[in-house]
Structure 1
Amino acid sequence: MATQRPWFFRFPPEMISLIVSFLPNKDVKSLRLTCKALGEITPFSSSRVFLSANSLNIQVFRAVADHPKFRQEITEIIWDDARFVSAPLIWENVHPTIDPQSVQTNPDEGCPNWFVEECEENRYRMRHRKHRDVDRPDHLARKNQIDAQMPLKVCWEYYMQILNDQTTVIEAQDDEKAFLYGLQRFPRLKRVTVTPAAHGWLFTPLYETPMIRAFPYGFNYPIPRGWHFDQTEGQVVEPLPWSEATEEYKELWRGARITLRVLSQVKKHNFSELSFDSKQLHTGINFRIFDQPCEEYNHFAAIMKRPGFRRLHLSLLTGSSGYWAGFQSGYFHQAVSLARELTDIYLSTTFNLGSLSSLGDPPIPLKKVLPVMEWPNLCNLALSRFSVDTSELMDILKLLPSSLQSIELEFIEFPFDESCLTGLLERMREELNWAERDQLKPTVTIAMEGHRRWPGRFIKLPDEVASFLYGSGENPVDGGDTCGPRNGWGTNHDLFEAEYTRPNVSIPDLRKLGIVR
């Protein structure tokens, strides 16, 4: 007796492909495995591949690099530069210390005290991030994992397997070897991204890398952060002088350093975009590499002057306050001046992240940072956590080329200007004459903290700013402050939770919309 053909296959293959295109890659992979027919007609496409000091990530990375079809589609390598630790380190100086109490075994849980504390903190953060929100499907999915949490002793044993695997990979330099191999095998590679934020928050990873997808259901673990990072909420570490730093300290940026070295030395690759992206976590590339020439600075400068280099995203660990030697020395300005074909640049600092001591510090000298006259093709400029002088920022904006398409100003501080964003937007409308352009007018986006601060969360006002600059709309921050716009203006976003997106309105209004309880 002939088996009846499933109704789904009555649709034309083109329609099936269109339906499947709305699914995330992980669901496409599962769908392709359900039967041979679906595997043949269901398209699978991925433009990015993940790498880290983990053997599973490396195994999948190399498998894609060896695949005759998939390797042709890769345009981005994402390096997860966060690493697991046997105990939290405290970098009070160039040498780390460990709290002896933290590594003692908790008799009730069968694992170290610090591990227990971190796992409990994860549960607290999950509740804190949800706050008053109604139960969304993603909330319920995370709650189900929390309810099914493995015993902490079992979590610790699995965690140690990953840690030991990481040690083996680093000793053999397998991650660096894989990176070099990928550069040779991905002909369409355009971007290399290095981030310390791949793990996001518990059960909410920024990227579902092969390693993270393989985690057991209900696996609670200390979320690893790459680079120099303070786990205390709202705190920012001060970057240690690079010229005095030990190799152990510099290895906090292992993936970033390998990327700089390899990309500056290997000639046969086509990448044109480099991103060191903290995703608004309170960290970045140690800014002290720009104090004076060093190995990392030389690699960075070599990449900047590479023919065809067009996009730079650079998160900088500057500390929370101060007037930094890297900008004063001129080496940063000198290096980025070499990128003559640059079209996109995004720069962020950790300035003024909850630090009252920084309020009296002078603004960042923008003219010593941004050599805009050397970027005749600049299309997109973004500045995040910059303390600025309004007049100097206006001078920079007036020098930008006609190719400009967008400006993003995130969490900008005005230490000596009471008018703040209100005055800046008014001057932009009055002095820049962008509204009179015949060609496409630059999109201007303002991002602000809002009243519930959390890394990755912000309020964005692109439409409101456009209405004010190019139409008859009101100033969206008139009467407000640098912490947030007026109620009803802008949209709340979360880099780690797309489902969080909501209008910036009062709690009663959010309740009416069914967003909060």
Structure 2
Amino acid sequence: MFSNLQIRPAKPHRRKTSMAARAGVSKRRVSYISTTANDVPSMSLMEDLFGEEFPEAFGGSSGSTKSSKSILDLPPELLAIICEDFSNIDIKRLRLASAYLAKNVDLRIDRVYVSPNRANLQCLRNILDHPRYKYQIAELIWDDAQLDAYPDLDSFKQAVEWDEKVMQRNVERLVRKLGEGEPEADVEMEAFEDEDLFDSSGKLTEMAKDILLRHNSQFAKHVIAKNAISMSIEESYEIYQALYRQEQQIMKQEHDAAALEYTLENCPNLVRVILTSEVWRPWHLQPVYDTPFRRSLPQGFRKPSVWPWLSQRPYDTPARREYREGVMGNYVSDEEGSLPTEFRGYSILLSALATIEDTQVSEFIVYPGQETIGVSHHLFTTPNADFTNTLKMAQHLPLTRLALSINASCAFRTSTTYLRSGQLRTLLASMSHLEHLDLSLNGTERHEETAGAVVRPSLVFPASLLPRLKTFALRNATFPELELVSLISALTSAHHITLDNI
């Protein structure tokens, strides 16, 4: 009866196609999550979890799709605002991310360096050729630390080894200071001598590295890295000789002087000019000024310190002392003459500043760090071309700030001293806009014993200047006590007064 009956599997139940699908509209299932601002995970985590459905998964979303905008769509004006709180290194990294950011995110450059060195001059030229950077420059620094001549390897080695001994003493003090206040470290410190920190070749021992790394400071890492990669004396001497020849050639052709004039003419917002000797000091574990020249040196290069402005050095030779005393013990006898060649930077700066037009320069600073050196006392001892230019600058520029440090070495030997000549007083009297004065005399008539040789403040400071000064600093000077009190009393507008080693 049922011989022809065939049993077939039941057809699967098919869900009827929705009208949305038949209309060509795709619909995704979305889960809505309630959250608060305090427990929201990071954007990258949410994108990994939800993929293309982010941010539709949030309850506050109205179904909008993810935006395709990025930082590359921001205009330069907004990028500049964003970068205001970035460090310089972060800005440099951001510029490396894309060609657009490299073009539209500016470096933060407000200072330029001038010296007879190819790296400094090339960097300066790149900045001044940029359509925007030259308008950011507010400070110009002239590095007056000229390289010393070392005729042979032995003299070079002696200078380098002395610097490295200073560095070693600084590291020894640092390591001991790091252990202060830690009982475990104090016991460890008492167990070894300073010799345990360095081996016979001057390298840090493993013990010293361990103590430095335990504190995990950037400074400690810098000391370790610098110590680890130092090159040989012979290699360093070869590089140094090439740098010295290059510097001598630039000074001979006066390329640095031409670069200075070009900078003054093309930086309309320049405010401050600094003459300094502090770029290459052995006691600075970190540079005071991180110049392009310094950054261009190969890693591990061992460079001896520079002692500019005829300053005394710890490993002086009799010949060098005799030369310094011969130069500083005399004076400029010709009104058309200039300061000794060791003060070449001051002569070039003042020659340019005396004639510059349409400038905003209002601050001139001679910065010797903590040293009792500066521009030669010859400047104020007798009439000379550099004093004439200094006076022209004072009358020509509306200077509101002056910081002046004088190298008074051997000044007592001249028949007319730099304080009694009246030239310094004449200079200060000509500065009608001056409000901030920092004067380091670095020696007075201590070698004179007669009452007539006493230098009084009235020989240095004009009475019209003192009442309008807002800040006043006097360093390394000797005046009669009562007259010093009168001097301070005359500073009726001063907000801050500094007396250092008076």
Which interval holds the TM-score relative to the shorter structure? 0.5 to 0.7
- Report the Cα offset of residue 293 of structure 1: 0.8
Are 1:392 and 2:473 an aligned pair?
no
Aligned equivalent of 1:405: 495
SS at match of 1:53: coil
- Range with greater deviation from structure 2 (147-156 or 37-46): 37-46
Two-structure CA RMSD over aligned residues (Å): 3.8
Structure 1, 21-30 or 325-334: larger mean CA deviation:
21-30
Alpha-carbon distance change, 52 to 385 in structure 1, aligned in 2, over 3 angstroms: same
- Of 121, 139, 147, the residue aligned with 1:84 is 147
Q: C-alpha separation between the residues in 2 aligned to 1:204 and 1:148?
A: 16
Separation of aligned partners in 2, 1:329 and 1:356: 17
Q: Could you give the per-residue CA deviations for residues 481-514 of structure 1, whole angstroms, max 9, x where no partner exists?
A: xxxxxxxxxxxxxxxxxxxxxxxxxxxxxxxxxx
The one-letter amino acid of 1:241's match is: N
Determine the C-alpha separation between the residues in 1 that align with 2:448 and 2:315. 18
- 2:236 equivalent to 1:155: yes
Return the match for 1:218 from 276, 281, 300: 300
**Selected match of 1:128 from 169, 177, 180:** 169
2: CA distance, partners of 1:28 / 1:69: 16
**Equivalent pairs: percent with the same residue?**
22
Q: Structure 1 residues 321, 85: closer, same or farther in 2, change over 3 A?
A: closer
2:310 is the counterpart of 1:228: yes
Extract unaligned runs of 5+ from structure 1. 88-102, 105-111, 414-517
Q: Structure 1 CA distance, aligned partners of 2:115 and 2:442?
A: 25
The one of 353, 361, 367 equivalent to 2:458 is 367
- The answer to whether residue 400 in structure 2 is matched with residue 310 in structure 1 is yes
Give 2:248's aligned residue: 167
Distance 2:288 2:249 in 1: 25
Aligned equivalents of 2:447, 2:388: Cα separation in 1: 33
Q: Residues 24 and 368 of structure 1: is their aligned pair in 2 closer, same or farther, counting only changes over 3 Å?
A: farther
Aligned mates of 1:142, 1:360 — CA distance in 2: 52
SS at match of 2:142: strand
Letter in 2 for 1:262: A
Q: Which has the larger radius of gyration?
A: 2
Q: Classify the secondary structure of the residue corresponding to 1:205.
A: coil
Aligned counterpart for 1:350 among listed residues 422, 442, 445:
442
| Equivalent-residue separation in structure 1 for 2:299 and 2:93 (angstroms) | 17
Residues 339 and 375 in structure 1, CA contact (< 8 A), matched pair in contact too:
no
Matched-pair contact (CA < 8 Å) for 1:321–1:358: no
Q: How far apart in 2 are the matches of 1:359 and 1:119?
A: 42
Q: How far apart are 1:196 and its partner, in Å?
A: 1.1
- Specify which of 357, 361, 377 is matched with residue 287 of structure 1: 377
Q: 1:85 to 1:217 in 2, by over 3 A?
A: same
1:155 Cα offset (Å): 0.8
**Matching residue of 2:428:** 336
Deviation at 1:397, TM superposition (A): 1.5
Equivalent position of 2:329 in the other structure: 240
Aligned to 1:419: none
The verdict on how the C-alpha distance between 1:269 and 1:20 changes in structure 2, with shifts beyond 3 A counting, is closer
Q: Which secondary structure state, in structure 2, belongs to the residue aligned with residue 188 of structure 1?
A: coil
1:326 aligns with 2:370: no
Equivalents in 2 of 1:211, 1:282: separation in Å? 26
May I ask how many residue pairs the two structures share in their alignment?
386
Of the three residues 457, 470, 493, the one matched with 1:379 is 470
Q: Once the 2 structures are TM-superposed, how far is the Cα of residue 78 of structure 1 from its aligned partner?
A: 0.3
Say whether the 8 Å CA contact 1:277–1:313 is kept in structure 2.
Answer: yes
Q: What secondary structure does 2:390 align onto?
A: helix
Gap change, CA 1:231 and 1:59, over 3 Å in 2: same
Aligned to 2:361: 271
* Residues 437-458 of structure 1 deviation map (CA, whole Å, 9 limit, x = unaligned): xxxxxxxxxxxxxxxxxxxxxx
1:207 aligns with 2:289: yes
CA distances 1:382-404 after superposition (whole Å, capped 9, x unpaired): 112122333212111111243x2
Contact between 2:474 and 2:499, CA under 8 Å: does it hold in 1? yes
1:16 shift after superposition? 8.5
Residue type of the alignment partner of 2:359: H
Equivalent position of 2:207 in the other structure: none
Question: Which of 124, 127, 146 is the matching residue for 1:64?
Answer: 127
Following superposition, the deviation at residue 119 of structure 1 comes to 1.2
Q: Is the counterpart of residue 301 in structure 1 residue 383 in structure 2?
A: no
Unaligned runs of 5+ in 2: 1-50, 53-65, 179-211
